[in-house]
Chains A and B, each alone.
Chain A
Amino acid sequence: MTIAAKRLRWFIPIIWTVLFLLDGTISLLFQKWLYHDFLNISSQVLLMGVVSTSFHFDTERWLIWPAFVIGIFYDCFYLGIVGYYTFLLPMVVMIVRWIADYLPDSMLFQAVTYILMLIILEFALFILNSFFGDGIGFFTFVSTDLGPTLAANVIVFLLIYYPYKQLMKAISN
């Protein structure tokens, strides 16, 4: 294993952990605006990091394991119920890795992939919640949760895409 590859194995889990904790901090800091009348926005900075990293390093097969571990932490710390992100995050890594084979690594394609993953994740959470009797109606979900969450997170994506790319570049060489 080269030194750069070794460094990746250290840095990526650390970066993901920070992003995971940032999600909670952002949610608390902006709670006045995020959980409002007809807007329920969930901050998904961690997902952005996971998508961007797996897109950039699509040959690193081990990325699925840090995603799994952070998923467990996410479930325990934020949701109190283990099972949602524990399986969804590794799934995201796998799908992104597969998509990245066909698409060039550019901002546009990463953004499209990120939006796609966001829809899949939110939709999977919605279906699971409906299954466990905690669901809202489909149209309410699309208009108050999915739509605003997409809009807000795409803006966040545009803001942090470039710094995150530089960070990935810095740790990979």
Chain B
Amino acid sequence: MSKFFSNKKLIILLITIVAMIGFISISISIRDRRETPPVIQQIGNDAAGIASQIVSAPVNSIRTGLTSMVNLVNTYQDNERLKQQLDQLDQVKETNTTLRRENKALKRQLKLSATLTDYKEMNAAVISRSPASWQNQVVINKGQLNGVVKNMPVMSGSGLLGRVVEVNKTNSKVELISTDNKNTNRFAVEVKIGADKYLSGIVSRYNSAQHRLIISQLDTTEGVKAGDMVSTSGLGGLTPRGLFVGKVTSVRKDDYGLTNSVYVKPAANIDDFTVVTLIDRTVAGD
């Protein structure tokens, strides 16, 4: 015992702890400041990304096989349900095209090239997930070479899932909307409470016990009721307007009873996803 904690070892331990804290602080400040990590880190990440895809290939193929088997079982039920929706779909599609054409014409008249609602989509596959439970980060297989930029919003299925926090050459990291990280950027959202009425707020937390996003900092919660649609507001300059977030489930008082928070059931399946969609906002933020 006495030999292990000799003076020399204690000094080494002390230096290691100091170096550790130093490295982490420098690393955090670099990550917050730069659009992409240093080149050496990028090369390491790209190599690890490629190796990860090789290692996970057999596992993924088994997973795909299982999923398709489960899908086969569910197909009949799905088919019944979808048939009912199909009749309405044609009508909705037709209306959509007409409205889009009209919108384009009106924008041209106003000499607007792009507005807050305009965006381009890009699909990516998830290749790995950070094992650290305090991080809620996944790695996707698109990077700088594919046009990914830091802070791009990411969707999964029909709802908002998170945003890009680090971009390498061939892969990038996405932080999920469910993160507890207090230093991360927040999403500006709006709750639709009437035909033309919206309330702006910010997604501030995720309640993992109930699987609910919590919106706070609303001016008022008057008129908000369960079932109201929540989508991004396009304010803040990073996210386009109109990305679907979820539906309101309840309005509750905060711990001190001073303000109200709105609880939202996210539309994206935050617990289970393998494919994501990156959103590229056309109007650049200032």
Contact = CB atoms under 8 A, between A and B. Distances in A.
Most buried by A among B28, B49, B133: B133
Interface in A67-91: 72-73, 75-84, 86-88, 91
B161 interface: no
A153 B128 CA distance: 19
Interface stretch (B177-185, B189-197, B258-266): B177-185
A29 B56 CA distance: 10
A160 interface: no
A21 B182 contact: no
B42 to A, nearest CB: 9
Most buried by A among B24, B45, B127, B181: B24
Contacts of B282: none
Contact of B134 (A36, A75, A131, A136): A136
Contact of A87 (B4, B20, B127): B20
**Interface of A: prevailing SS:** helix
Interface stretch (B75-83, B136-144, B226-234, B235-243): B136-144
Interface residues of A, number: 50
Interface string A132-162: 1110100000000100010000000000000
Contact of A79 (B20, B130, B274): B130
Given A28-B138, A83-B27, A134-B183, A21 B20 contact: no
Contact of A83 (B23, B52, B135, B271): B23
Given A25-B55, A37-B209, A125-B132, A82 B48 contact: no
Contacts of B139: 24, 77-78
A35 interface: yes
A21 B52 contact: yes
B45 A77 contact: yes
B115 interface: no
Contacts of B182: 133-134
A83 B24 contact: yes
B59 A40 contact: no
B28 A125 contact: no
Nearest to A148: B133
Interface in B1-42: 4, 16, 19-25, 27-28, 31, 37, 41
A132 B28 contact: yes
B39 to A, nearest CB: 12
Nearest to B56: A25
Contacts of A145: 133-134
A80 B28 CA distance: 8
B48 A25 contact: no
Nearest to A98: B4
A84 B16 CA distance: 11
Contacts of B183: 133-134
Contacts of A26: 131
Contact of A80 (B134, B137, B180, B271): B137
Given A24-B139, A27-B130, A35-B136, 19 more contacts: A18-B55, A21-B128, A22-B55, A24-B130, A28-B274, A31-B129, A40-B133, A73-B44, A75-B27, A77-B44, A77-B48, A78-B131, A80-B137, A82-B27, A82-B41, A83-B21, A87-B16, A98-B4, A132-B28
28 contacts: A21-B55, A21-B56, A23-B131, A25-B55, A25-B56, A25-B128, A27-B131, A28-B126, A29-B59, A29-B63, A35-B136, A36-B271, A38-B208, A73-B48, A77-B44, A79-B135, A80-B165, A82-B24, A83-B21, A83-B27, A84-B20, A87-B16, A125-B132, A128-B20, A131-B21, A132-B25, A136-B134, A149-B133
Q: Shortest 4 CB-CB distances between A and B: which pairs?
A: A40-B133, A24-B128, A83-B23, A83-B24
Interface of B: 4, 16, 19-25, 27-28, 31, 37, 41, 44-45, 48-49, 51-52, 55-56, 59, 63, 126-139, 165-166, 173, 180-183, 208-209, 271-272, 274
